[in-house]
C-alpha cells in the first residue's frame, strides 16, 4: 500500500465518513474552497429549476424513435439527462459548455505547467464553475488525504496473476473497494433519500482519490514485480502523485498525464462507460459497484480498449511494412485490415463526425514535445491515409480519428510501453465525469432506469397498426 506523507491524525480524520471529511483540511470559514459546501448551495437551486421546468414542459416532445434506431444501438435517441458535458457531432466535447482549448486556457495549472489540472476539470464538471487556484489546491489536498486503500484490496491485487488483464484487475479492485462505501452504510441505516447525494459525493471523492493508488499498484505488480510503489505526497497534485507512483518523474510526462486525465474524463452520457455507470447507479448500487460496471464496458475494444488496440495494430503495421512505409504500402495494409473483417482502431465514432478535438490536442502536444518521433510521424501519416479509405467503403459514418488514435504514441515516447495497461489510465480519468454525473443523478432524484423493449414480432405488429 502507498504510504502517506501527511500527519497520521489528519489522514485518519479525512478518511472518516460524512461531512466532517472535508472540514479537517481547512478552516470552516474558508467556504469558497470547500467543494461540498459549494455543491450543497447549488443543489437546491438546481432541484427547483428542474422541478419548475418539468412542471411547465414535462409533456413536450423532444424526439422520435424509429425502427432503425431500435436495431441500431439507439443512435440519436434523446433518452438521458447528463449534466457535466455535451457532445456536438462537429465540434466535439464541451465540458459544462467549455471546449477543450477553452479548458486548457481557463483551468488552473501546476506551477510552471501548461496543461490544466484534472482537479480543476472535476470542479468544473460537478459545479459548472471554473475554479480558482486555491479551490483546485484544496481538491488536490483532499484527494491526497483520502487516497489510502484498505489492506484487503492491496492483498487481492498482490494475489492476482500477472497474466490477468490490468482492466480486469482494475474493475475487481474497484468492486472490492465497496467495503468502504459511505452510501451503503447510509442506506442501510435508513438515510432519507434527500441525503443520498451527500453519501454518493463522499464515495465519489474517496474513490477518485484511491484510483491512482489502485492503478499504480496494478502497474507495479504486473510489470515491475510489485516493487517501488512509493507514496502519495499531500503537497503535490493528483497527476503528479499518480505519475510518481507509476515510476515516472519526467516533468513532461507529468504534464502529459494532466492533459490525458483531463481530456478522457467525460464524453456526455450515452457512451458505454458513462451510461453503464449511470444505469447501475439508478438501482442505488453504490458508486464503487456502478463505476466498476462502467469500467467493464470501457474494457471493450470498440470503446476504451481501442487505445490498446491502436498500438497493437501499429506494431503489426511496422512489422509488416516498416517504420516509414510509402503511402501505397500503408494503403494496402489498411485495406487488408478491412478485408479481413476488422475495424481500423482509433477511427470512427458513434456521434462525432469530425476529427475528435481530444485527438487534436494530443497531436498538438506531440508537435510541441516530440515532433521528430518516428511513431508520431507514422501516426500522422495514418491520419492522412485512413480517412479517404474509410470513406471509400461507403458505410463508415465518421472516417476521422477519435481520442484513442493518439494517446498510445505519447505514452510510448515517455517509456510507458505496456499497452495492455493503457485503458486503466483512461478509466482513472473517466471517473471524474461519470462520478460527477452520479452525484447529480442522486441530487436530482432520478429514478431507477427502465426503458421499454419490444420483441421483433411486437414491433412488427406496432408498425402495422401505426
Ligand atoms: N474501421 C472499419 N470499419 C468501421 C470503422 C473503422 N474504424 N468504424 C465504423 N466502421 C464500420 C462499422 O463496423 C459498421 O460496419 P457494418 O455495417 O458492417 O457493421 C459501419 O462502418 C457503420 O458504422 P458507423 O455507424 O460508422 O459506426 P458505429 O456508430 O456503429 O460504431 C465505433 C462506432 C466507434 C464503434 C466504430 O467506428 C469503430 O468500431 N471504430 C474502431 C474502434 C474504436 O476506435 N473505438 C473507440 C471509440 C472511442 C471510444 O469510445 O473510446
Q: Quote the ligand 1 centre to 418 CA distance (angstroms).
A: 25
pLDDT along the chain (466 residues), means of 10: 40 38 38 91 98 98 97 97 97 98 98 97 97 97 98 98 98 98 98 98 98 98 94 97 97 98 98 98 98 98 96 96 95 97 97 97 98 97 98 98 97 98 98 98 98 98 94
Q: Is 70 helix (H, G, I), strand (E, B) or coil?
A: helix
Q: Quote the ligand 1 centre to 381 CA distance (angstroms).
A: 20
C-alpha span between 143 and 124 (Å, rounded) = 16
C-alpha span between 73 and 319 (Å, rounded) = 36
Give strand pairing partners of 87: 93
Residue with CA at minimum distance from ligand 1 atom 22: 396
CB distance 407 to ligand 1 below 6 Å: no
User: What are the cell numbers at 395?
Assistant: 458505410
Provide the pLDDT for residue 32: 87
- The residue with cell 421483433 is 456
Q: Is 404 a catalytic residue?
A: yes
Q: Quote the ligand 1 centre to 292 CA distance (angstroms).
A: 24
Provide the pLDDT for residue 31: 54
Residue with CA at minimum distance from ligand 1 atom 19: 395
CB distance 427 to ligand 1 below 6 Å: no
- The residue with cell 460496471 is 293
Q: Is 327 a catalytic residue?
A: no
CB distance 308 to ligand 1 below 6 Å: no
C-alpha span between 175 and 87 (Å, rounded) = 29
CB distance 402 to ligand 1 below 6 Å: yes
Q: Quote the ligand 1 centre to 303 CA distance (angstroms).
A: 10
Provide the pLDDT for residue 466: 86
Q: Quote the ligand 1 centre to 461 CA distance (angstroms).
A: 31
Angle between helices 422-443 and 272-282 (to 10 degrees): 40
CB distance 344 to ligand 1 below 6 Å: yes
Q: Quote the ligand 1 centre to 396 CA distance (angstroms).
A: 7
**Residue 130 has what DSSP assignment?**
P
Residue tagged active-site, from 34, 356, 404, 441: 404
CB distance 25 to ligand 1 below 6 Å: no
Q: Quote the ligand 1 centre to 345 CA distance (angstroms).
A: 8
* Nearest atom within ligand 1 for CA of residue 426: 51
C-alpha span between 376 and 85 (Å, rounded) = 30
* Nearest atom within ligand 1 for CA of residue 347: 7
| Prediction pTM value | 0.93
Provide the pLDDT for residue 169: 98
Alpha-carbon distances, residue 90 vs 57, 86, 170, 192, 396 (angstroms): 29, 12, 33, 43, 16
Alpha-carbon distances, residue 458 vs 66, 451, 455 (angstroms): 14, 16, 5
Burial grade of 15 (CB within 10 A; 0-12, 13-18, 19 or more): middle
Q: Is 275 a catalytic residue?
A: no
Contacts of 327 (CB under 8 A, 6+ apart): 381, 384, 385
CB distance 303 to ligand 1 below 6 Å: yes
C-alpha torsion angle, residues 450, 349, 264, 213 (rounded to 10): 70
User: What are the cell numbers at 235?
Assistant: 503537497
Sign (positive or negative) of CA dihedral 430, 431, 432, 436: positive
C-alpha span between 83 and 323 (Å, rounded) = 44
Neighbours of 165 (CB within 10 A): 18
CB distance 275 to ligand 1 below 6 Å: no
Residue tagged active-site, from 286, 349, 356, 441: 349
Spell out the domain ranges in the chain: 8-141
Architecture of domain 8-141: Orthogonal Bundle (1.10)
C-alpha span between 282 and 173 (Å, rounded) = 22
Alpha helices (H) in 224-286, listed in sequence order: 238-246, 251-263, 272-282
C-alpha span between 176 and 281 (Å, rounded) = 16
Amino acid at each position: 500500500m502507498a504510504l502517506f506523507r501527511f500527519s497520521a491524525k489528519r489522514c485518519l480524520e479525512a478518511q472518516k465518513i460524512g461531512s466532517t471529511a472535508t472540514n479537517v483540511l481547512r478552516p470552516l470559514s474558508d467556504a469558497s474552497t470547500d467543494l461540498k459546501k459549494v455543491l450543497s448551495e447549488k443543489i437546491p437551486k438546481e432541484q427547483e429549476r428542474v422541478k419548475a421546468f418539468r412542471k411547465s414542459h414535462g409533456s413536450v416532445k423532444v424526439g422520435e424513435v424509429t425502427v432503425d434506431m431500435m436495431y441500431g444501438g439507439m443512435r440519436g435517441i434523446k433518452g438521458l439527462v447528463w449534466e457535466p458535458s455535451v457532445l456536438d457531432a462537429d465540434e466535439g466535447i464541451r465540458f459544462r459548455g467549455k471546449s477543450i482549448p477553452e479548458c486548457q486556457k481557463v483551468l488552473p495549472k501546476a506551477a510552471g505547467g501548461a496543461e490544466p489540472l484534472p482537479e480543476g476539470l472535476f470542479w468544473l464538471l460537478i459545479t459548472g464553475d471554473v475554479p480558482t487556484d486555491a479551490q483546485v489546491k484544496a481538491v488536490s489536498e483532499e484527494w491526497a488525504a483520502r487516497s489510502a486503500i484498505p489492506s484487503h484490496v492491496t492483498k487481492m491485487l498482490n494475489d492476482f496473476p500477472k497474466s490477468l488483464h490490468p482492466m480486469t484487475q482494475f474493475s475487481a479492485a474497484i468492486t472490492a473497494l465497496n467495503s468502504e462505501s459511505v452510501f451503503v452504510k447510509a442506506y442501510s441505516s435508513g438515510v432519507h433519500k434527500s441525503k443520498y447525494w451527500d453519501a454518493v459525493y463522499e464515495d465519489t471523492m474517496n474513490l477518485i482519490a484511491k484510483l491512482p493508488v489502485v492503478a499504480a499498484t496494478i502497474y507495479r505488480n504486473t510489470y515491475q514485480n510489485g516493487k517501488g510503489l512509493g507514496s502519495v505526497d499531500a503537497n503535490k497534485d493528483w497527476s503528479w502523485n499518480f505519475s510518481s507512483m507509476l515510476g515516472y518523474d519526467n516533468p513532461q510526462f507529468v504534464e502529459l498525464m494532466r492533459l490525458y486525465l483531463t481530456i478522457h474524463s467525460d464524453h456526455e452520457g450515452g457512451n458505454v462507460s458513462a451510461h453503464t455507470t449511470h444505469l447501475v447507479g439508478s438501482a442505488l448500487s453504490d458508486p464503487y459497484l456502478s463505476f466498476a460496471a462502467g469500467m467493464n464496458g470501457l474494457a471493450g475494444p470498440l470503446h476504451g480498449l481501442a487505445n490498446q488496440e491502436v498500438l497493437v495494430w501499429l506494431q503489426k503495421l511496422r512489422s509488416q511494412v516498416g517504420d516509414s512505409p510509402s503511402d501505397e504500402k500503408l494503403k494496402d495494409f489498411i485495406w487488408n485490415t478491412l478485408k479481413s473483417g476488422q475495424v481500423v482502431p482509433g477511427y470512427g465514432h458513434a456521434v462525432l463526425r469530425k476529427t475528435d478535438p481530444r485527438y487534436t490536442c494530443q497531436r498538438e502536444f506531440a508537435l510541441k514535445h516530440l515532433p521528430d518521433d518516428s511513431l508520431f510521424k507514422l501516426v500522422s501519416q495514418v491520419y492522412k491515409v485512413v480517412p479517404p479509405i474509410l470513406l471509400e467503403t461507403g458505410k463508415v459514418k465518421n472516417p476521422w480519428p477519435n481520442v484513442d488514435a493518439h494517446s498510445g504514441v505519447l505514452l510510448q515516447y515517455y517509456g510507458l510501453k505496456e499497452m495492455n495497461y493503457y485503458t486503466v489510465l483512461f478509466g482513472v480519468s473517466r471517473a471524474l465525469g461519470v462520478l460527477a454525473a452520479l452525484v447529480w443523478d442522486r441530487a436530482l432524484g432520478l429514478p431507477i432506469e427502465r426503458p421499454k423493449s419490444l420483441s421483433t414480432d411486437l414491433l412488427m405488429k406496432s408498425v402495422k397498426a401505426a
